Every structure is written in C-alpha cells, then in structure tokens.
Chains A and B, each alone.
Chain A
Amino acid sequence: MQNQSIVSTGSVYKGRTGMWLYLFHRITGVALFGYLLLHIISTALILAGPEVYEGAEAIYKNFYFRIGEVGLMAAVLAHAINGLRIIAVDLWSKGSDYQKALNITAMVVFIAIFVPTTYKMIDSYFELCLEKSSAGTTVVDCMVRPLPDWKTK
C-alpha cells in the first residue's frame, strides 16, 4: 500500500498473542492447502498401478521426510486446535471474554498432543528401520540414508 511504503521502517507492531496466532493460522493454512494438492497428485498415481505408486512413495521413506511429516503433523494439529479456539471466540457469546485463557489452553493442548505424537513417529521410524535393514545397520545409518530394501516387507 502506498502510505505504508512511504514511512515503512520494517518495525514490527507489538501485537499480543492473538495477532501472532492469526498470522500463524494463515501461514499453516496456506501451507496445508499446498500440501493437500501435492498429496492428491501422489495419491492419484495409484491408478497407474502398484509399481508407479510405490515408486513414488519410496521417495518419502527416509529420515528427512519423517521430519517433514512431523512438521505436517504440527501444522495440522496447530491449525485444528487454533481453529477450535477461533470457533469458540466466534460462536460462543462469552468466548471473547476468555480469549486469553483460550489462547493458553490452545497452546497447552497443542503441546500435550504434539509431544507424544512426535515421540511415537520418531521412535517408530527407527524401530522399523532397524528391523527391516540388514544386520549391522546403526541409528546413524537410518538417519543419513534411505534404506536399500525399503520397499520390501
């Protein structure tokens, strides 16, 4: 906007939690929509048969994508829980009176669900990786390279 650019100094407005949650909700929302489109494409490959589908899925089966999946989980959980907070503020007549308590509740609930979920996802990755790999594979190996026999059960 013209007037913003004239005196823009890059200084940040000191909004409270609500402003950052608003921004965060936008960013996770846009990111999740982008992911949704990618996900539709990769799932649509299943029409081309097992070879193509599993070939595409194999790209995701390494530690870097596991970190990405944890991020995806974080985005979904955060967007969902913050969304419930927004619904409470919008549709419950007392919602805005308790908005600070709701902000804190949303963040506590997020952490309470996200931490055990992350633990399970990371733990399960190493367990399956060590189980499926040839003897002598270490945890470090699981982290740095996708396994050769990844696709076979």
Chain B
Amino acid sequence: MDVKVNILRYNPETDRKGHWEEYILKADPDERILDLLHKVKWFDDGSLAFRRSCAHGVCGSDAMVVNGENMLACQVLVKEVSTPIKIEPIRGLPVIKDLVVNMDSFFDSYKKVMPYLINDDEPGERERLQSPEDRDRFEDTTKCILCAACTTSCPVFWTADTYVGPAAIVNAHRFVFDSRDNASKQRLEILKDVDGAFRCRTAFNCTSACPRGIQVTKAIEDVKRETLTIN
C-alpha cells in the first residue's frame, strides 16, 4: 500500500526554519516507522538525518515525535498509526539536523543525579545481598534506556530547559530506593533545588510517552514524598 509520510526537515546550512516535506512510499502495514525512514534515506533522499542503532527498542536512539506523540520509530508499526504519518524531532532540545537533536543537556542532567551505585563500606567477602522485596522497590526504574521520550514530552521541559527532566529523576529513583546504596540523601539534595523534582507538575505526558512502560510520574512522586519524609 502507498503511505504518505510528512517529515519535518531542517538543514542548518541552508534553512533558517524547519519545513515539512512529503514522501509517498510503498510500505507493508507490518513495517515499522523506522523502515519508512530507511526507505526515504536509502532510495529517495540520502540527506535525511536521523539516529538509530539497534533498531529493536533497546538502545533508545530513535525517539521522535510521530503524529504528535513521542515514540521509538523502531517499535511502532505502520498499521498502528493514522496516515499521513507526521514525523518531527523530539521537542525541547536543540535540533542539529532533521530528526537529530543535541542530547548534551539531557545527559548532563542524567549525570547530575549520580546514576551509579555509591557505597563506601568495606566490600566484604561476597556480593552485597538484597531481599526480593527491596529489589522490587526500584524494579520499574531499572528499565530506562535513556531515549529522552519522557523528558521531551514534558510541558515544563519545553519551556524551561533547565529542569532536570523525568529521565534524570527516574535514574535517581533507581538508586535512591536501592538498599545497597548510601548516597540517597545526596541525590535527594540535588533534586530538591528549583530545577529538581518539585518542578514536576504531574501532567503524566512522560508516563504515556515511555516506550518501556515505566510509570515515570509515579517514580517522580515517590522521590517527592521521600524528600518530604526525610526533611
């Protein structure tokens, strides 16, 4: 079948503003949105720029706005979306070219919450053990693949790009509620300032945007309540 695809193109060398370009492609209903982008790039216009690596919903490279909603292009089939298919870069981050955005500030926010286990106690003879119940407390937030779908779906992040964003808070949550970690207090301290967790206004866009089904807003709420409890 013929599918009409509209892509928001932007070439920094020639364009001052983004513009829509229309492509008519032959596609199978079972093909992914990513396959459509490949068809454009490989057979139609080689200058189209977009990110993708594993193409199977694991690496988190190809988050984009499809028909007005954030999703991974490699996870959504043509038959699952209405035509014409409109594809835009994710919002709130500087566009480099076409669908490629500059993710530096996103990863800086991620680093800010110290997303690694901190425990200065003696390592001991064997692993640091943890009960299944303690593990379950942060099970949901271990699934994050850092695709930025949540952060760039957040209405607060669109207008205030200093906000650390849902993804960073999700990754803080993963360690704050880990019984083996000793730096929860420091992380909550970092998330307490004006650009931290209390910037969240519970619009729940992040929860519906997450391709891994993480209850993002719930995680942020957990962090807020934890901050309230320890203070």
Contact = CB atoms under 8 A, between A and B. Distances in A.
A touches B (Cβ under 8 A)? yes
Interface of A: 1-4, 6-9, 11-16, 18-19, 21-23, 86, 89-91, 93, 95-97, 99
Nearest to A21: B203
A1 B68 contact: no
A7 B15 CA distance: 10
A13 B204 contact: no
Nearest to B217: A96
A7, A8, A12, A19 — most chain B CB neighbours (10 Å)? A7
B161 A1 contact: yes
Given A7-B17, A13-B69, A90 B221 contact: yes
Given A9-B20, A15-B155, A18-B204, 7 more contacts: A6-B95, A7-B8, A7-B18, A8-B17, A13-B205, A91-B225, A96-B221
A15 B158 CA distance: 13
B10 interface: yes
Contacts of B174: none
Nearest to A15: B205
Given A13-B205, A14-B69, A15-B153, A7 B221 contact: no
10 contacts: A3-B92, A7-B8, A13-B65, A13-B155, A15-B155, A15-B203, A16-B208, A19-B155, A23-B155, A86-B202
